[in-house]
Chain A
Amino acid sequence: MKKRKQKEILSKKLTHPNYIFCLKKERNWCLYNALTLKKCYGGKELSAVYRLTNKLIEEEILVRKLINCDHDPEEIKKLIRELKKEKFLVYSNFSGEKFREKIKNGLKKIKYQPMGMYLLVSTGCNYRCKYCCLEHSIDTHSLQPKLMSFKVAREAVNFFFKSSPNPQYICFFGGEPLINFKIIKEIVEYINTEYPNKKIFFRINTNGSLVNQEIAEFFAKYNFVIGVSIDGTKKYHNSCRVYPNDKGTFEDTIKGWHLLQKAGCKNLGTVAVLNSQNIEAVEKNILFFLDELKADSINFEPVGIITEPQYLYLYPSPKKVAQALVKNYENLESRGKLDNYIARFLIHFLGEKVLFCRCGSRYGSLIIDPQGNKGPCFNFLGSVYFSKKGITYAKEWKNISPVNMPECTNCIAIGICGGICAAHARAVGGNIRSIDLEYSCEIMKEILRWMIWDLEKRLASKNEAKNKP
């Protein structure tokens, strides 16, 4: 009897689970649920609730203590009710583990379905970018690059359309894919003849230097989504993107860009690798892309894997990377355009849907090498993950999600991060399950902090506008 009573009392005690975080900015406080992505904004009372529920506390005592802080009793009770409803506060008999398992079930629903296929049409490249992450998995420096044949490309296309219930795009990739433009042309025409009803679009990532009139007109005709690798203005671009003789490549890239623009390519974007050089003038570079190049989109990717010690200085600080990505988002949004780096997190953050896997390699990318081997990511070319059979490691890759990683259990970004790049994980820790606390994890936490307070700012200004007479 006594035991039951004790149990009853205990079950009425409240606490906050370890996936609830309390953040402060100026006079504002936020309780953030890292698993359900719920956010609660308010004043000091939130901090008091958080502090008082660090240890188990009876609900009545909690209410009393908060009332003593000069708050209205009814409002306090309502607040506690709401916080309980949204699992910011739970009773002591609440099983956090069970709740985590429930969240994890979402991961089971994700099935690997190739949505986009990347054809690595050429392993060779005429540039020698200092941070190139591909030169370690394919021999981009070879004087005899491997080129994809039409037969291999055709078989890959047939495989893609047969195995994908929802094919979205085909992307041509390299090395420098335009070294093998002949195959690009032939395969696009093949798809248009053999699969006229497939509503897919074509993408290409190029350094632009090999673009000529014919190529530009071809891309315009087939409405290619084009990403041209440009790191910024001449000074910043040439600091990393060079020819084998160390000569800058800016002029040739820009020449290609203007040819594409002149030919009427409508989906022309820049792809810049954020490194310690161009990040110092990120605003200037964004304006260069938007105002001078008139880019339809700007994509920033933080520098990935640098294995050569002499180029390690190219790593920027994670805080600066996050700030640059946010700046890009804000600039583009103000012009009615979309930045995809931040957008991928924002969609989940706002919709309160856990982002289990950030990279397409975990759920929907199919990479084909020049020999016709299929794999999940071009950074793993030549590894056990590539085979003629198809994607055989999909389940293993998908399960490397923060919700499954013990190291991520107490991280504020667990529900929004989607896991770091598999190639980066391998480079940092030796295998694809590694984490990278100092760089990738820090970038993500910075982005999350920005999202939390940017939402608060926008909600406040909406409220203000509403309350204006």
Chain B
Amino acid sequence: MRKKIQTKIVKVRQAKKCYPITSKAKTFIYTAESVTPLIAAGKTPKIK
């Protein structure tokens, strides 16, 4: 009996869906004090 291979190279879209921070389904409101890295990553933080 041959074993089935379960190997998968993760696609960016798949990975992003797993985290609310990068998932388009949920919009985060960034309230944190240190928003510099987010701005640098091209995200515009929404301030409450």
Say whether A associates with B. Answer: yes
Interface residues of A (CB under 8 A from B): 38-43, 45-46, 69-72, 75-76, 79, 82-83, 86, 88, 115-116, 168-169, 201, 203, 205, 223, 225-227, 266-267, 269, 271, 296-297, 299, 333, 336-341, 343-344, 346-348, 350-352, 357-358, 360, 363-365, 455, 458-459, 462
**A residues near B24, Cβ cutoff 8 Å:** none
Name the residue in A115, A203, A296, A347 with the highest tally of chain B Cβ atoms < 10 Å from its Cβ.
A347
Sample of 10 more A-B contacts, CB < 8 Å, known A71-B2, A75-B5, A338-B30: A40-B7, A45-B7, A72-B3, A75-B4, A88-B9, A116-B36, A299-B32, A343-B37, A344-B38, A346-B22
> Which of the residues B20, B38, B47 comes within 8 Å of A347, measured between beta carbons?
B38
Given the known interface contacts A43-B7, A75-B5, the answer about A458 and B18 at a Cβ–Cβ threshold of 8 Å is yes
B25 interface residue per 8 A CB criterion: no
Given the known interface contacts A225-B47, A266-B48, A297-B33, the answer about A343 and B7 at a Cβ–Cβ threshold of 8 Å is no
Query: How many angstroms between the C-alpha atoms of A116 and B31 in the bound complex?
Result: 16
Contacting pair A360 B40 (CB below 8 A): yes
Query: How many angstroms between the C-alpha atoms of A267 and B32 in the bound complex?
Result: 7
Contacting pair B12 A346 (CB below 8 A): no
**B residues near A223, Cβ cutoff 8 Å:** 47-48
Contacting pair A225 B35 (CB below 8 A): yes
**B residues near A169, Cβ cutoff 8 Å:** 35
> Which of the residues A168, A205, A343, A350 comes within 8 Å of B33, measured between beta carbons?
A205
Q: Interface majority SS on A: helix, strand, loop or mixed?
A: mixed
Query: How many angstroms between the C-alpha atoms of A40 and B9 in the bound complex?
Result: 4
> Which of the residues B5, B32, B33, B43 comes within 8 Å of A72, measured between beta carbons?
B5
Please give the number of chain B residues whose Cβ is less than 8 angstroms from any Cβ of chain A in the complex.
Answer: 38
Contacting pair A70 B2 (CB below 8 A): yes
Name the residue in B8, B21, B34, B44 with the highest tally of chain A Cβ atoms < 10 Å from its Cβ.
B34
Given the known interface contacts A70-B3, A115-B40, A338-B21, the answer about A352 and B12 at a Cβ–Cβ threshold of 8 Å is yes
Q: Across the two chains, which residue of chain B brings its CB closest to A228?
A: B33
Name the residue in A205, A223, A337 with the highest tally of chain B Cβ atoms < 10 Å from its Cβ.
A337
**B residues near A346, Cβ cutoff 8 Å:** 19, 21-22
Q: Across the two chains, which residue of chain A brings its CB closest to B26?
A: A336
Given the known interface contacts A169-B35, A223-B47, the answer about A46 and B22 at a Cβ–Cβ threshold of 8 Å is no
